[in-house]
Amino acid sequence: MLKAALRGGAPVLLWRAALVATLLCGVGLLPWLSRTDPALTVLRARSAERTATPEVLDAIRAQLGLDAGPARLLGDWLGGLLHGDAGRSWISGAEVTPSVLQALGVSLLLMGGALIVAAVTAAGVCARTLRLGAGRRLDERRSAGTGSAFLATLPDFLTASVLASVVGVQLGWLPALGWYGSRWMVLPALSLGLPAGALLGRMLDDLLPGAFAEPWALAAAARGARGRTVARQALRRCVPGLLPNVGLFVVGLTGGAVAVEQIFDIPGLGRLSLQAAVAQDLPVLQAGTLALVMLAAAVGGLARLTARLLIGPALRDDALPSLHRPTPSRPTTPPLLYGGLLLAVIALGLARDPLDLDTTARLQPPSWTHPFGTDALGRDVLARVGHGALDTLALATAVSAVALLLGLLLGLLPRFSGPLADTVNAVPPVLAALLVTAVAGSGPTTPALAVTAVAWAPLATHTSALLRQERATTHLAATRGLGATPLQLLRHDLLPAVLPPVLRHALLRLPGVALSLAALGFLGLGAQPPSPEWGLLLSENQPYAERAPWASLAPAAALALLGAVAVTAGGGVRWPKALRVRRRHA
């Protein structure tokens, strides 16, 4: 047992430690990698009015020890960390550990509320499939997921802005600013939990038909078992395949809720990391990153352990049934309907000028002249949505394809990709973009590289989770016993089981990739004004969400239509027919 643990666990621990060390070194070298003067950045963060004379900058370098070089600074910080001292903030001079722990506690509390909202949302998404499966009426399930696709594509900052302005300010039902008690947690938890729950619910709904079609479920139904009992066991059968992705969501919600924390004025870890990254406050940024990495390792290990406990000894004994989804019917009407509507909007927008300014028609509501209204500069919103579609869709599709390929390839190597995915997911999006920019430089490909660097992680985690279960199936053990080679097993058994659900997962994330690409415009890395890119339209019009909601709702609706097209078209994704026939006769 000890030898097996050393062989299996020690390399993974060493690999995880190497990744954490590399990440912390990258954060510590961030100012020098980005070729900026950390003394000047710190001075601007401390006092923007003070003149940056050579004497003032030299005094800051001497105070912070910048003259010793980045290696010495990183070594001193690590040395203090061994004694429980994470250093002092370069900006405020306060101890780093208390502020990071306080921000982490706030983010964890917000994450807990968001997870409750996500669980309720996911239950609502897959409730119909559970009810039909319990009644053995899954043949009535044609294609679901349109409503959840719209919900999953809602940008969290747009949802937060609408909830804060409408529910918090206009109606006054709940507080919209600050962090003083449980009532202040409701609106931000809804902003984060609704899209996450819709995405997780769709992934669970995608696996449930396969569980209801397994022999144990058919035998239980034939013996007169209650439908609720079968549905409960089917749910338990599918949850282990999603738990690793739930772990990614936990860490992502903890450190990546920057926009929501900014809008609701929440002193969380995401907001603290953003402020530290912009000000290049390295001690705070390093401590916050280390806290997220440790959280990612703990949550990832707990998720994998829980999955093993839920599956039981069948995973160890190669006694699992294959969680194959029954061959779905190819949806035709919904994707054609949503796709035609999206193309019509784009075509109408392309016939208009997206840069035509009319300051006398600022923030005009929808009319015959301007069907989607106008923005703060009097530009036609329909024109900007139409002209921004080509760049948005082309780049998002390319990044999603690369992320899918990386996710599948790395997911086949779980010992290598598991720690890597946990570490990558723990990096706040702002920091990930800054690190990519520091290495690759600013340019038209920088946003794509930054998003691709993190977009593969949930797909690789999903692949590994499904692969782990498929490798423990009885039919695979029998095929292996008949002399099948690893390549034959991969081609005829593993890929047919894993590729379709992961591809549907990637399609569901396509609108989110488009939004992530645009969000980098805040850092000067993505699309810049006057570009009509959809995410930039959301960012530009978000301050006017209360006065002119149509300016933000138009690009949000376009993203939602894109999500609806991707989900409904992906509902019929299946393994090619020729390969299915060969697999059946193998």
Quick: pLDDT tens for 203-217. 888 788 888 888 888
The CA angle 430-432-437, to the nearest 5 degrees, is 95
Cβ–Cβ < 8 Å for 463, 408: yes
DSSP SS3 for 547: coil
Residue 272, pLDDT score: 86
What's residue 580's pLDDT? 44
Q: What is the pLDDT averaged over residues 8-21?
A: 78
pLDDT band at residue 10 under the 50/70/90 scheme? confident
Other C-beta atoms within 10 Å of 498: how many? 23
pLDDT at 153: 67
Distance of alpha carbon 12 from alpha carbon 78, whole angstroms: 22
Higher pLDDT: 35 or 322? It is: 35
**Averaged pLDDT for residues 303-319:** 73
Over residues 251-268, mean pLDDT: 80
What lies within 8 Å, CB to CB, of 461 at 6+ separation is 244, 245, 247, 248, 411, 417, 418, 421
Nearest to 516 by CA among 574, 473, 458: 458
> What's phi and psi for 208, nearest 5 deg?
-60, -40
CA distance 302 to 403: 26
Does residue 244 contact residue 310 with C-beta atoms inside 8 Å? no
Q: What is the pLDDT of residue 2?
A: 37
Question: In the structure encoding, which two tokens stand for residue 326, read together?
Answer: 């029954």
Q: What average pLDDT does the segment 534-549 reach?
A: 77
Question: Mean pLDDT, to the nearest integer, of 538-560?
Answer: 79
Tell me which amino acid residue 517 is.
L
Q: How far apart are the first and last CA of the chain?
A: 37
530 preceded by a cis bond (ω within 30 of 0): yes
Spatial CA neighbour of 324 closest among 213, 456, 174, 159: 213
What's the pLDDT score for residue 35? 72
Tokens of 489: 């097993």
Q: Is the pLDDT of residue 315 over 90?
A: no
Tell me which residue of 116, 57, 30 sits closest to 288, measured CA to CA.
Answer: 30
Distances (CA, A) of 103 to 188, 279, 290, 293: 15, 17, 13, 15
DSSP secondary structure letter of residue 180: S
The β-bridge partners of 320 are 473
How much is the average pLDDT of 88-100?
88
The DSSP code sequence of 400-424 is HHHHHHHHHHHHT-HHHHHHHHHHH
Q: What is the mean pLDDT of residues 25-51?
A: 78
Computed over every residue of the chain, the mean pLDDT equals 79
- pLDDT the model gives residue 4: 42
**Hunting for tokens 């089981």 — which residue is that?**
497
430 has pLDDT over 70: no
Q: What is the pLDDT of residue 505?
A: 82
**Adjacent-strand bridge partners of 374:** 380
Q: Express each pLDDT in 117-158 by its tens digit.
A: 999 999 998 888 888 888 888 776 665 556 666 677 676 766
Main-chain dihedrals φ then ψ at residue 574, nearest 5 degrees: -150, 170
Instruction: Supply the DSSP symbol for 345.
Output: H
- Name the range with the highest mean pLDDT among 401-410, 430-439, 520-529, 554-563: 401-410
pLDDT at 441: 65
Q: At 463, which amino acid appears?
A: T
Q: Output the six-digit token pair for 397.
A: 């599709």
Which conformational region is residue 36 in: left (phi greater than 0), alpha (psi within -120 to 50 degrees), or beta?
beta
pLDDT of 578 > 70? The answer is no
Q: What is the pLDDT of residue 321?
A: 65
For residue 54, pLDDT over 80 is answered with: yes
The β-bridge partners of 380 are: 374
Give the torsion sign (CA, 427, 428, 434, 437): positive
* Nearest residue to 328 (alpha-carbon basis) of 210, 227, 238: 210
Of 36-45, 309-318, 438-447, the range with the highest mean pLDDT is 36-45
pLDDT band at 236 (very low <50, low <70, confident <90, very high): confident
* Residue whose C-alpha is closest to residue 451's, from 512, 407, 532, 506: 512
pLDDT class of 188 with cuts at 50, 70, 90: very high
